[in-house]
């Protein structure tokens, strides 16, 4: 993380959860995506923590947090984040969730609406069935036996030397490829691999995303929401951003032209400015 942030570890449900905490002011809770970590938000700390408090955890099963055997559903992750806020004495936050983290943020806002001031969804899961074949393949029978082979050091070296292999499954060159590759290399660890499969199978089946926020969001308490998407996202299609407006009241959509699945990394200055503006608006 940034030199201005402080990394901590807290024990929740008997397991260590790693998080960074910096700044003061209105609280922003950042939630990374599948195979991500707090590292993917580090570049925003210096841009936002001068007048905001940033809490940036590694979800269980990711980064430096524990990878226990257990429940990796969206609701379980949301409950863990609620417990983290309780431990920190934080009553209300703006949630900023990317990909899987967006799905967790929506479930959190549905379960604990009194804890959420605003919601920022970045290339969010849970807004449609479509998702990359790369992720669908992890839900197929036998994936637990195939992953150790393709995530082995020998195979990673071969794939790295032929980077076109990842491009062939629909990943956008550049930032998307870098971030997904970093996540993929972590699958060489057996505990991370088990947690990845449990998390993926909680939200995706061979046909696509299996959790649909449109089933419950129309009945949820209205929360001001900013949806950010890259127009060249090949993991989750950008048109899901438009579908969000059908179920989320007070929803604003911002598209990043030419950006992929990580618009907050492709154009961090614009993203930070949008978040700052959105958080500062009257509800």
Q: How far apart are CA 54 and CA 69, in angstroms?
A: 29
3-state secondary structure of 276: helix
Catalytic residue among 261, 264, 266, 267: 261
How far apart, in Å, are the Cα atoms of 199 and each of 75, 76, 163, 212, 267? Answer: 11, 10, 26, 16, 28
Q: For residue 131, which of 64, 50, 212, 63 has the smallest C-alpha distance?
A: 212
Cβ–Cβ under 8 Å, residues 213 and 103 = yes
Identified catalytic residue from 22, 99, 109, 132: 99
What is the widest separation between alpha-carbon atoms in the chain?
A: 54
261 noted as active-site residue: yes
Q: Which of 49, 176, 233, 266 is catalytic?
A: 233
Is the separation of the CB atoms in 226 and 245 below 8 Å? no
> In terms of DSSP bridges, do strands 53-57 and 116-122 run parallel, antiparallel, or are they unpaired?
unpaired
Determine the distance from the C-alpha atom of residue 27 to the mean position of all C-alpha atoms in its chain, rounded to a whole number: 18
233 assigned to active site: yes
3-state secondary structure of 228: strand
Q: CB-side exposure of 197: number of CA atoms within 13 Å? A: 20
Among 15, 10, 100, which residue's Cα sits nearest to residue 57? Answer: 10
Q: What is the DSSP string of 1-28?
A: --TT-EEEEEEETTEEEEEEEE--SSEE
109 is catalytic: no
Output DSSP code: residue 272. Answer: H
Looking at residue 214, the DSSP 8-state letter turns out to be: G
| Residues labelled catalytic | 99, 233, 261
């Amino acid at each position: 993380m940034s030199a201005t942030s402080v990394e901590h570890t807290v024990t929740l449900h008997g397991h260590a959860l790693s998080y960074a905490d910096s700044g003061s002011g209105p609280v922003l809770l950042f939630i990374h995506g599948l195979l991500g970590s707090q590292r993917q938000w580090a570049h925003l700390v210096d841009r936002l923590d001068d007048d905001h408090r940033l809490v940036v955890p590694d979800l269980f099963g990711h980064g430096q947090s524990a990878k226990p055997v257990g429940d990796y559903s969206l609701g379980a992750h949301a409950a863990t984040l609620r417990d983290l806020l309780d431990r920190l004495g934080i009553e209300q936050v703006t949630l900023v969730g990317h990909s899987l983290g967006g799905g967790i943020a929506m479930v959190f806002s549905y379960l604990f609406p009194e804890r959420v001031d605003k919601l920022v969804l970045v290339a969010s899961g849970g807004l449609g069935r479509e998702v990359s074949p790369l992720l669908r393949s992890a839900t197929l029978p036998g994936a637990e036996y195939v992953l150790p082979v393709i995530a082995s050091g020998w195979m990673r070296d071969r794939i790295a030397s032929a980077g076109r292999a990842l491009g062939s499954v629909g990943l956008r060159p550049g930032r998307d490829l870098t971030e997904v590759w970093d996540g993929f290399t972590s699958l060489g660890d057996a505990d991370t691999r088990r947690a990845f499969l449990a998390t993926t199978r909680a939200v995706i089946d061979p046909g696509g995303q299996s959790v649909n926020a449109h089933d419950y969001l129309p009945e949820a308490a209205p929360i001001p929401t900013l949806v950010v998407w890259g127009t060249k996202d090949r993991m989750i299609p950008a048109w899901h951003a438009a579908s969000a407006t059908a179920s989320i009241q007070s929803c604003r959509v911002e598209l990043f032209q030419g950006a992929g699945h990580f618009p907050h990394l492709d154009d961090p200055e614009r993203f930070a400015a949008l978040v700052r503006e959105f958080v500062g608006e009257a509800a």
